[in-house]
């Protein structure tokens, strides 16, 4: 309203008119309470015949079109059908995959460059998919979902389910990185009597054996996937470094809660896996349109030929542990064979039912969604079921090609069945959680206590950054009281509790590890400083071989420090411009942030660049209070601004010393000239010689930033075999006790 004050009445009315026209544009595209209008305009009249032919020919080609979303026009989009079983050349209402940046790379709507619209063919109620994703997002990364009205060439085509794509934007939001190994786990052709993408190692030991079962979405990663699959099947007790076990347990808990068998459970498909910065593969849910018993085929276990609605209500969530697996399900059986993982899995299921089903919350949400879309479903002339079916299927079975169970009829019976299931009943309770002192003291101790009734073992899981949680067993101090003391604490701590007996387990908070408790204390300004920065970098490349601006932080204290809740900025009036990732720096350690406006490259890539002509740079708390700042002038190529003495002195022009001390040291002054690297370009062998017996580790990185070779040298010369490398530009990093240097290498 501030922009309207002082304007003439006519201008006010005009502004209100413009505001009314753009109200939709202010809504989140995936807000469940908003139904966006998507208008597709094709340039040819036979668009449907063309898309049909693409589908018949098995092509993923797209047809050019314009797309208007709530009044915003995106030109040059590309469209094709989405999915497999939900598509038919005989359907009028097919599902669509719309690529907004098909012609123009920067085209997007609210940052989304891909739209996936499902035609709701297996769901008379219309709400199965949106409801499932809404519940799932409480427990693990899962796509946003709502409903959208689709118009084609001006004609209302129908109401669709609108689901967020699992792509780099999704990865960046949930994993703070996008360059890990990333796969869609769907076979090219689904085998009704086959293993599909079940993570079994039976296809073989080579990446080629898996090409038809998994679709790679990253630049590379096949070796990592095969190694993960081999470990899961051959050494499952060693799987924790390669698998986010908790995420896998949540995925199974959600699928078995919802009877979502068009998933890993039923045919080993319809999910993704992404390898995060900790090296763990994370399962990601996908394609939940036939949850709540809409899909009842399975090749997995006792109901290998399918199951009916009554059987769906009482399907055993431990079938793949207690019964046969017709085709292997190692991501279930090999985890459930660990009794703690089994109890954790059932504890997750109990949490889902406690929070959404025993209290009937899911039914209220389903009714709310149906009320929202009621008129649009009624007006949808191309829907696959009648309006009466839409109304009735929330509570009652609708019979069509198959029987679609009433959602509340199914889930009320399932909730009753699971209430007395072993692992649901007789679980521990965790109460009276305390920590002393109340606030973290940098380098101090923290004592945690809790009351855990009906428990035989209690554990605390903790971490001070975005790494892996560390597990420690708590000590029983008498009765139901348990205690643990953590020493040398950082200024930030994330933690949760887990208790179990022989029958059941329980977490606190119950949504752990996706949710957790956290403690944070502010550090002193002198503890963490901006130590060096390079606004005109020509010496040091990032993990992608790019010579971007960088900022070096340094922990001056004697204790570990977390960067959680801290911000970097190049604007004095906006100190919280970019949130630092949660990193832990040990005493005397450095952190490197690349100021390159390339956040998609990972969590250590900021949303701003540094000016070589001079500007402001700052490190601040979340409330804007400054820890460190500096206003600098113009800089010449090859120089940096660095604190000398290291960490304490004023900023001076200096030679780059990325990741090590700025203090003058005789060998570091001429570190770069101490090495000879030849020939360059190289063909089969790369020679590295060092003066003064400087020992080093040589690392060679691919153009995509992946380590392809690593060797150490303790004498004066090394010959690297590069005969197996593809032609291209590589980054050679030579790490010494005095620092690192980088060289670009051309492999012919």
Query: For 368-407, how does the pLDDT look when each residue is reduced to its tens digit (9 = 90+)?
Result: 999 999 999 999 999 999 999 999 999 999 998 899 999 9
Q: Strand 470-473 relative to strand 475-478: parallel, antiparallel, unpaired?
A: unpaired
Query: For 522-569, how does the pLDDT look when each residue is reduced to its tens digit (9 = 90+)?
Result: 899 889 999 999 999 988 888 888 999 999 999 999 989 999 999 999
- Categorize the per-residue pLDDT at 283 as very low, low, confident or very high, splitting at 50, 70 and 90: very high
Asked if omega into 679 is within 30° of 0 (cis), the reply is yes
How much is the pTM?
0.83
Q: Report the SS3 class of residue 646.
A: coil
Q: Are 226 and 207 in contact (CB under 8 A)?
A: yes
The answer on pLDDT for 671 being more than 90 is no
Q: What angle do CA 527, 531, 537 make, to 5 degrees?
A: 155
- Categorize the per-residue pLDDT at 590 as very low, low, confident or very high, splitting at 50, 70 and 90: very high
Same domain, 652 and 686: no
The answer on pLDDT for 708 being more than 90 is no
Q: Does residue 282 sit within a domain?
A: yes
> 579: closest CA among 605, 556, 553, 555?
605
- DSSP single-letter state for residue 355: H
- DSSP single-letter state for residue 536: S
- Mean model confidence pLDDT for the chain: 90
Q: Does residue 215 sit within a domain?
A: yes
- Categorize the per-residue pLDDT at 692 as very low, low, confident or very high, splitting at 50, 70 and 90: low
- DSSP single-letter state for residue 522: P
CA distances from 649 to 523, 524, 646 (A): 20, 17, 6
- More confident of the two residues 325 and 132: 132
- Categorize the per-residue pLDDT at 675 as very low, low, confident or very high, splitting at 50, 70 and 90: confident
Which residue matches tokens 């207690």? Answer: 322
Report the alpha-carbon distance of residue 472 to residue 412 in Å, rounded.
38
Amino acid 734: pLDDT: 80
Query: For 105-117, how does the pLDDT look when each residue is reduced to its tens digit (9 = 90+)?
Result: 999 999 999 999 9
- The residues near 180 (Cβ < 8 Å, ≥ 6 apart) are 171, 218, 221, 274, 275, 276, 277
> 594: closest CA among 644, 683, 534?
534
**Which of 520, 553, 579 is the last residue in one of the domains?**
520
Q: What is the mean pLDDT of residues 28-34?
A: 96
Q: Residue 99: beta bridge partners? A: 78, 114
Report the alpha-carbon distance of residue 56 to residue 556 in Å, rounded.
64
The answer on pLDDT for 19 being more than 80 is no
Q: Report the SS3 class of residue 598.
A: coil
Counting other chains too, the contacts that 199-206 makes at CB distance below 8 Å and 24 or more residues apart are 199/228, 199/229, 199/232, 199/233, 199/268, 199/330, 199/331, 200/229, 200/233, 200/327, 200/328, 200/330, 201/229, 201/230, 201/232, 201/233, 201/234, 201/330, 202/328, 205/230
CA distances from 66 to 41, 343, 533 (A): 5, 51, 45
**Which of 419, 442, 469 is the last residue in one of the domains?**
419
Lookup: tokens for 44: 């040819």
Same domain, 71 and 189: no
Lookup: tokens for 213: 């079962």
Query: For 490-510, how does the pLDDT look when each residue is reduced to its tens digit (9 = 90+)?
Result: 999 999 999 999 999 999 999
- Categorize the per-residue pLDDT at 721 as very low, low, confident or very high, splitting at 50, 70 and 90: confident
Q: What is the dihedral of CA 303, 313, 130, 301, to 10 degrees?
A: -20
Q: Does residue 513 sit within a domain?
A: yes
The answer on pLDDT for 670 being more than 60 is no
Q: Does residue 48 sit within a domain?
A: yes
Residue 71 belongs to what domain range? Answer: 2-119
Q: What is the mean pLDDT of residues 222-227?
A: 98
Same domain, 114 and 199: no
CA distances from 566 to 277, 519, 575 (A): 20, 14, 10
Same domain, 186 and 334: yes
Q: Does residue 540 sit within a domain?
A: yes
Helix H or strand E encompassing 3: none
Q: In 69-209, which residue ranges form alpha helices assigned H by DSSP? A: 128-136, 168-175
Report the alpha-carbon distance of residue 699 to residue 183 in Å, rounded.
27
* 247-256, 396-405, 619-628, 678-687: least confidently modelled range: 678-687
- Categorize the per-residue pLDDT at 713 as very low, low, confident or very high, splitting at 50, 70 and 90: low
Sheet containing 429-436: give its strands across: 429-436, 446-453, 481-486, 475-478
Report the alpha-carbon distance of residue 36 to residue 643 in Å, rounded.
53
The answer on pLDDT for 699 being more than 70 is yes
Q: Are 122 and 93 in contact (CB under 8 A)?
A: no
Q: Residue 618: beta bridge partners? A: 569, 629
Same domain, 441 and 563: no
Number of helices (H), then strands (E), belonging to the chain: the values are: 15, 41
Q: Does residue 157 sit within a domain?
A: no
Length of the chain: 748
Amino acid 192: pLDDT: 85
Same domain, 269 and 364: yes
Same domain, 339 and 472: no
Describe the crossing of helices 245-258 and 339-356 by its angle, rounded to 10 degrees: 50
Q: Report the SS3 class of residue 198.
A: coil
Same domain, 209 and 349: yes
**Which of 640, 664, 688 is the last residue in one of the domains?**
664
Lookup: tokens for 616: 């402001």
Amino acid 607: pLDDT: 94
Q: Exposure string (b/e) for 280-300, b if CB count within 10 Å is 16 or more? A: bbbbbbbbbbbbbbbbbbbbb
Q: What is the CA radius of gyration of the chain?
A: 29
Amino acid 738: pLDDT: 58
**Whole-number percent of the chain with pLDDT over 70:** 93
Q: What is the mean pLDDT of residues 342-355?
A: 98
Dihedrals phi, psi of 252, to nearest 5 degrees: -65, -40
Same domain, 114 and 208: no
Report the alpha-carbon distance of residue 404 to residue 250 in Å, rounded.
25
Amino acid 690: pLDDT: 73
Query: For 158-209, how does the pLDDT look when each residue is reduced to its tens digit (9 = 90+)?
Result: 999 999 999 999 998 899 888 899 999 999 988 988 899 999 999 999 999 9
Same domain, 244 and 362: yes
Q: Does residue 147 sit within a domain?
A: no
Report the alpha-carbon distance of residue 551 to residue 642 in Å, rounded.
10
CATH number of the domain that 534 lies in? 2.60.40
How crowded is residue 53: how many other Cβ atoms within 10 Å of its Cβ?
A: 13
Q: What is the mean pLDDT of residues 285-310?
A: 90
Amino acid 36: pLDDT: 98
The answer on pLDDT for 320 being more than 70 is yes
Q: Report the SS3 class of residue 61.
A: coil
**Whole-number percent of the chain with pLDDT over 90:** 72
Amino acid 667: pLDDT: 39
Q: Are 412 and 361 in contact (CB under 8 A)?
A: no
- Categorize the per-residue pLDDT at 6 as very low, low, confident or very high, splitting at 50, 70 and 90: very low
Report the alpha-carbon distance of residue 140 to residue 117 in Å, rounded.
22
Same domain, 616 and 479: no
Q: Does residue 161 sit within a domain?
A: no
Total domains present in the chain: 5
Same domain, 228 and 338: yes
């Amino acid at each position: 309203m501030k922009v309207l004050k002082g304007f003439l009445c006519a201008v006010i009315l005009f502004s209100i008119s413009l505001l009314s026209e753009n109200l939709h544009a202010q809504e989140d595209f995936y807000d469940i309470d908003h139904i966006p209008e998507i208008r597709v305009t094709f340039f040819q009249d036979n668009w449907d015949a063309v898309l049909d032919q693409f589908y018949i020919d098995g092509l993923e080609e797209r047809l050019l079109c314009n797309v208007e979303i709530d009044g915003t026009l995106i030109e040059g989009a590309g469209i094709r059908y989405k999915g497999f079983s939900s598509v038919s050349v005989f359907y009028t209402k097919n599902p669509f995959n719309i690529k907004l940046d098909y012609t123009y790379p920067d085209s997007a709507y609210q940052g989304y460059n891909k739209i996936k619209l499902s035609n709701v063919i297996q769901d008379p109620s219309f709400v199965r998919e949106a409801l499932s994703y809404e519940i799932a997002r409480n427990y693990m990364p899962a796509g946003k979902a709502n409903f959208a009205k689709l118009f084609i060439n001006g004609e209302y085509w129908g109401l669709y389910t609108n689901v967020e794509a699992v792509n780099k934007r999704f990865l960046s939001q949930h994993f703070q990185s996008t360059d890990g190994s990333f796969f869609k786990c769907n076979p090219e052709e689904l085998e009704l009597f086959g293993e599909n993408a079940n993570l079994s190692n039976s296809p073989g030991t080579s990446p080629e054996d898996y090409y038809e079962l998994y679709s790679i979405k990253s630049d590379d990663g096949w070796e990592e996937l095969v190694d993960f699959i081999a470990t899961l099947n051959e050494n499952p007790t060693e799987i924790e470094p390669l698998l986010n076990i908790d995420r896998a347990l949540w995925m199974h808990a959600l699928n078995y809660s919802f009877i979502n068998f068009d998933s890993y459970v039923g045919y080993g498909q319809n999910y993704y896996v992404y390898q995060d910065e900790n090296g763990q593969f994370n399962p990601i849910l996908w394609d939940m349109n036939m949850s709540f018993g809409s899909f009842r085929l399975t090749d997995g276990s006792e109901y290998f030929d399918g199951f009916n609605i009554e059987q769906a209500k009482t399907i055993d969530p431990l079938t793949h542990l207690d019964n046969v697996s017709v085709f292997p399900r190692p991501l279930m059986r090999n985890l459930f064979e660990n009794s703690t993982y089994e109890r954790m899995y059932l504890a997750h299921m109990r949490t889902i039912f406690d929070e959404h089903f025993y209290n009937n919350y899911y039914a209220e949400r389903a009714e709310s969604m149906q009320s929202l879309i009621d008129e649009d479903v009624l007006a949808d002339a191309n829907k696959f079921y009648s309006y009466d079916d839409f109304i009735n299927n929330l509570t009652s079975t609708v019979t069509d090609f198959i029987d679609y169970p009433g959602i509340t009829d199914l889930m009320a019976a399932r909730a009753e069945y699971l209430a007395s299931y072993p692992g649901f009943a007789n679980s521990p309770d965790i109460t009276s959680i305390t920590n002393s002192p109340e606030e973290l003291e940098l380098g101090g101790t923290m004592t945690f206590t809790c009351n855990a009734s009906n428990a035989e073992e209690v554990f605390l899981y903790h971490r001070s950054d975005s790494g892996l949680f560390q597990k420690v067993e708590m000590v029983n101090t008498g009765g139901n009281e348990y205690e643990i003391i953590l020493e040398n604490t950082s200024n930030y701590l994330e933690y949760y509790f887990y208790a179990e007996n022989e029958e059941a387990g329980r977490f606190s908070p119950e949504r752990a590890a996706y949710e957790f408790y956290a403690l944070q204390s502010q550090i002193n300004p002198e503890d963490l400083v901006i130590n060096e920065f390079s606004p005109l970098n020509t010496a040091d490349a990032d993990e992608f071989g790019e010579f971007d601006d960088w900022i070096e932080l340094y922990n001056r204290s004697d204790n570990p420090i977390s960067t959680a809740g801290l911000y970097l900025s190049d604007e004095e009036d906006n100190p919280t411009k970019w949130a630092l990732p949660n990193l832990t720096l040990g005493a005397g350690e450095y952190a490197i942030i690349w100021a390159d406006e390339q956040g998609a490259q990972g969590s250590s890539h900021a949303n701003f660049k540094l000016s070589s002509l001079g500007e402001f740079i700052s490190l601040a708390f979340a409330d804007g209070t400054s820890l460190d700042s500096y206003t600098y002038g113009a800089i010449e190529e090859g120089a940096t601004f660095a604190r000398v003495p290291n960490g304490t002195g004023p900023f001076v022009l200096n030679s780059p010393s990325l990741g090590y001390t700025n203090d003058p040291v005789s060998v570091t002054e001429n570190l770069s000239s101490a090495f000879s690297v030849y020939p360059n370009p190289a063909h089969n062998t790369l020679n590295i010689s060092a003066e003064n017996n400087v020992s080093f580790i040589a690392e060679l990185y691919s153009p995509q930033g992946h380590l392809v070779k690593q060797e150490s040298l303790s004498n004066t010369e090394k010959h690297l075999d590069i005969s197996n490398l593809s032609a291209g530009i590589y980054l050679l990093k030579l790490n010494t006790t005095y620092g690192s240097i980088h060289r670009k290498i051309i492999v012919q």
